[in-house]
Structure 1
Amino acid sequence: MRSYFSKIAGVLLVGFLIPGFLLAPGNQVQAQEKPEIHVGGALRFNYNLSSWKDGQKERGGDFGYDMFRVNFDAAWKDLYLNAEYRLYSEAFGGGFMKQGWVGYRFNDQDEIQIGLNQVPFGIQQYNSHNWFFNLTYYFGLEDDHDMGVKYLHTGDNFEYDLAFYKNSEELRFGGDTESSSSRYSYDVVGRNKEVNQVNGKLIYKFGDSIKNRLGLSAQYGGLYNLDTKETGSHNGLALHYELDFRNWNFKLQGMIINHDPKNLPEESDDVIQMGAYGVPYEVASDFNIYTLAFSKSIPVKLGPISNLQFYNDFGFMDKKIKSFEDSFMNVTGVLVSAGHVYTYIDYAAGYNQSWLGGNFVDDFSVGNPDAKWEARFNINIGYYF
């Protein structure tokens, strides 16, 4: 199995790299002759009031530090770099790289990215409008980043991405070392490691006044078990649609997700571990997930405020094992734009959602049939530069 995946990796690397370097110079985009580098970032603060935290309710919520990040963009000729490093509090994993890759533009439609780049699966860049993301994020299915090589084509009517990922963010290089949960996007951790993943994504664009993006995504990869030394598999299929009309945006998506780990005989294959922000939790191995999100932007002139974007993002996790309790999430809110300051005001509700009132351990796997809907009122204020 491992030999098979290695062959796939080699074929993809050759297929991506050679055609681009054979392109004639006249077909390439205009090169950036002088090296350029741009540095940006953000500083964010967060207020929250949660229905399941009695002490917090008594003191009227908490307001504190959220995150500081630094972004780097550099270019020289047709080569360019994109990197983002984030610093959270120690309780949320501390500091880690969100993304970091080197790219090469063959022409104005084709490019390649090598490094920690966004996995082409589902609606991108985000399948949501709010600060919490949609339910897909909590299973590594929204704004996920892994280590590999990705080829992108952007045409007038069609876009497609092809990618190979050797593994997720690898921070520990021991032979039998578990993957760290100190990362931005969720990946499989614990005794299984994501390896040798292949992704493909196709989008058809149509419409003038009403812009439509109809897409299909697929992925297949290995799950190497540190105990059995065997490689299982995981796969996903997604159908997605996005519409832009005037100041409206709609996102509709359905995903089929399966994991088949090769665990020790006494360990269940019905549950996997996933981790991010320094802490792992359990997730059902097999599930379908459905999301619906929409927003309406309203330009305004209220002092420094120039735009209000109202939205509602909904997610439903349908676990394939009938004895497992399903998970739900809904976020209603508004994004207030004022120059470089962006403020998300959200009311996030969850049922068997680890980050919204759950026990955090097995809400996304077995779940709790006696759970009730919990909610969090959240205000995130960020200055982006």
Structure 2
Amino acid sequence: MKRCFFLILIPFFAYTQDKPIVDIGGALRYNYLVSSWDSDQKNIGGDFVYDFIRINTEASYKDIYLNAEYRFYAPGFGGGFMKQGWIGYKINEKEDIHLGLTQVPFGIQTYNSHNWFFNLTYYVGLEDDHDLGLKYMNIGDKFEYQLAFFKGSELYSLGGSREVTSERYAYDIVGRNKEINQFNGKFVYKTGEDFKQRIGLSAQYGGLYNIDTKEVGDHYSIALHHEAFYKRWNLKTSLITTRHNPINAVGESREIVKMGAYGFPYDIASNFEMYTAAISYDLPVDIGPISNLQFYNDFGYMDKKAEGFKNSAMNVTGMLVSAGDVYIYVDYALGYNHSWFGGDFTNELGAGKPNLGWEARFNINFGYYFLTDNSSR
């Protein structure tokens, strides 16, 4: 299972300070998995499948720089699409501007989780989301804040009457509604030396354009988030409230909105509160090529506001093995009324079902990351 196929390495070019610098890298990943709800899969001892191959490009010239990442998934999981791609300008040591497909400043970043599955926030578009727009960042020693305007989510075709495709990396509104003109603001206060903390507030507000009614509803999310670092420990907690107010055609429910990624759309509850807590511990080791073991448990709970809707939850217990450029996630993931864990996929995060219990997936993700951007996520 530790086999990773060697890729053709594209050399990176380093120039003098007055000339452009270009780095090219990427990653290759595979999964071994066994799912509690798939009896055929259990009968054959699980599946070993291709996850993705990605290409990363970073370039800079003086104070202007670029960051782009394109991923190739299997055709059944959306095929190929861009995760991020933005042009940056460094104003000074603290201030930067991003233009393009850039990470939305909301909640704990870069991730509100430690595991390969992310937290429940990811599946409702509130973790590691990337949209098209302009972002300003001011990162100081004690305070940092970000302001952004996003014209829309990732769009791969023109026209207001065209539905947003589900073939994308991050979850966004799809179907007969589409996200437009979203404003984001995020503030973080940083304190401590031995016991470091990041205390933050995030908010976003934007429009929901309905293709049928030609009217614009709205949506917003507000989050209080806290991250603590003590020796080898890391703790992430957040409280989030979200409301979607689409102006749908007559007869279509406004209690749900449709979201999609990886080629699969599903319903989520329009209005909910979400609570997350994620903890990890790093253990340095010297076992052959293995240098670190990170143990973690990440939990998320979705409290839906519509009458009769069944709440959803997710918990992942696991370990990240770091061995040079190879990262291996070993996860035992549980989902309750969660579209990616059993059921019929389409409405667990929406109305949910009363008779669904906890479902589990044991997953090992093997990844080799080379050259630029050695991020294991």
User: Matches of residues 39-118 of structure 1 in structure 2 within 5 Å?
Assistant: 39-118=24-103
Equivalent residue number for residue 15 of structure 1: none
Give ranges in structure 1 of 5+ residues lacking alignment. 1-30
Corresponding residue to 1:285 among 270, 281, 284: 270
Give the paired residue count: 355
Q: Deviations over 1:19-68 (max 9, x none)?
A: xxxxxxxxxxxx95210000110000100000000000011000011100
Q: Please state how far the C-alpha of 1:172 moved relative to its aligned partner.
A: 1.5
The aligned amino acid for 1:193 is K
Residue 318, structure 1, aligned to residue 290, structure 2: no
Equivalent residue number for residue 349 of structure 1: 334
The aligned amino acid for 2:330 is I
Equivalent residue number for residue 162 of structure 2: 177
User: Matches of residues 194-343 of structure 1 in structure 2 within 5 Å?
Assistant: 194-343=179-328
Q: Residue 32 of structure 1 contacts residue 78 of structure 1 at CA under 8 Å; is this kept in 2?
A: no
Return the alpha-carbon distance in structure 1 between the equivalents of residues 66 and 358 of structure 2.
43
The normalised TM-score by structure 2 is 0.93
The normalised TM-score by structure 1 is 0.91
Q: Secondary structure at the match of 2:66?
A: strand
Q: Deviations over 1:94-146 (max 9, x none)?
A: 00000000000010100100000000000000000000000000011000000
Q: Residue 101 of structure 1 contacts residue 115 of structure 1 at CA under 8 Å; is this kept in 2?
A: yes
Q: Residue 196 of structure 1 contacts residue 222 of structure 1 at CA under 8 Å; is this kept in 2?
A: yes
Q: Residue 32 of structure 1 contacts residue 75 of structure 1 at CA under 8 Å; is this kept in 2?
A: no
Return the alpha-carbon distance in structure 1 between the equivalents of residues 106 and 118 of structure 2.
15
Corresponding residue to 2:116 among 131, 139, 150: 131
Q: Residue 127 of structure 1 contacts residue 142 of structure 1 at CA under 8 Å; is this kept in 2?
A: yes
Residue 152, structure 1, aligned to residue 147, structure 2: no
**Regions of 4+ moved over 2 Å:** none
Return the alpha-carbon distance in structure 2 between the equivalents of residues 305 and 357 of structure 1.
34
Q: Please state how far the C-alpha of 1:321 moved relative to its aligned partner.
A: 1.1
Q: Secondary structure at the match of 1:91?
A: helix
Q: Please state how far the C-alpha of 1:357 moved relative to its aligned partner.
A: 1.3
Corresponding residue to 2:23 among 38, 57, 81: 38
Q: Please state how far the C-alpha of 1:174 moved relative to its aligned partner.
A: 2.7
Return the alpha-carbon distance in structure 1 between the equivalents of residues 18 and 119 of structure 2.
41
Q: Please state how far the C-alpha of 1:279 moved relative to its aligned partner.
A: 1.1
Give ranges in structure 2 of 5+ residues lacking alignment. 1-15, 371-377
Q: Deviations over 1:350-379 (max 9, x none)?
A: 000111113111000110111011100000
Return the alpha-carbon distance in structure 1 between the equivalents of residues 17 and 229 of structure 2.
33
Return the alpha-carbon distance in structure 2 between the equivalents of residues 345 and 286 of structure 1.
33
Return the alpha-carbon distance in structure 1 between the equivalents of residues 50 and 248 of structure 2.
40
The aligned amino acid for 1:163 is A
Q: What do you get for the CA RMSD once the two structures are aligned?
A: 0.8
Quote the sequence identity (%).
61
More helix by share: 1
Q: Please state how far the C-alpha of 1:234 moved relative to its aligned partner.
A: 0.3
